[in-house]
Amino acid sequence: MSNVKMQIVDFIQKHAPKNGVVLGVSGGIDSALVLALCVQALGKDNVLALFMPENSRDIGDTIKQYVASLGVRSETLPIKPIFETYIKQGGVADNRLVVGNLKARIRMTLLYTRSNANGLVVMGTGNRTELLMGYFTKYGDGGVDYLPIGALYKTEVRQLAKEMGVPDEIIAQPPTAGLWPGQTDEQELGISYEKLDQILTEHTDKGVSFDQINLPGISRSEIQIVQKRLDGYGFKTTPTLICQLTK
């Protein structure tokens, strides 16, 4: 995937300001890959990595060592104090989806605070699979300036991450948005990324209708999961509607 890597590196160089970029590092494969690509494109001195766990102790040793090995600047901004302020307002704590989305939006505001204060742009870590499925928080992890790996399916992210030297421990761990304890992407989506990417490739890239998709090892119910998700979450990927007035 060397050609893909160079295209992404060129993209980052084209859109990054002279002061550099900031991105949130969660410990997962997507942010680890984007971090490595930003370092290759801009150099370690022009990349700021933000850890935004609930508590400082939630940061794993592997990701801390990986960030340190790249030599980038990093900050740790625990979100629990901010989150608890919201909780005190009521109507939040009893709904885990609302809580998870709130955490994502708090992290977005921290990224843009650092971005504004230092003349940086926010590099997002979303991939093509997540974007097509609407699997992101609107104005949360979806609130970014640029998406360097937004054209890569999750399975392609894994390939490029391995090529870029992202540690196997990070690549192999179950993907999670960290919305609540024990949450994983595949559990919430109801399908593995390997199958999901095959279905999306058939439908989105090849133009095969859902009722015509026939892939070995993939059931009709799994195809319907994808179809339902695309139908139900398309609003996340469309621009905000503006009331157009007649002059």
Block residue for tokens 């295209």 = 7
Backbone region of residue 193 per phi and psi (left: phi > 0; alpha: psi in -120 to 50; beta: other values): alpha
For 69-154, list the strands marked E by DSSP.
73-76, 121-122
Of the listed 10, 61, 130, 211, which one is catalytic? Answer: 130
CB of 29 closer than 8 Å to CB of 36: no
Catalytic residue at 54? Answer: no
Report d(CA 226, CA 232) in Å as an integer.
Answer: 10
Enter the tokens of residue 222: 């799994």
Report d(CA 196, CA 70) in Å as an integer.
Answer: 32
Question: Could you tell me the strand order of the sheet in which 21-24 lies?
Answer: 73-76, 47-51, 21-24, 121-122
Per-residue burial over 40-57, b = 16 or more CB atoms within 10 Å of its CB, e = otherwise: bbbeeebbbbbbbbbeee
Question: Residue 75, SS3?
Answer: strand
Catalytic residue at 130? Answer: yes
Report d(CA 241, CA 7) in Å as an integer.
Answer: 32
Query: What is the DSSP secondary-structure string of 33-72?
Result: HHHHHHHHHH-GGGEEEEE--SSGGGS-HHHHHHHHHHT-
Catalytically active residues, by annotation:
30, 130
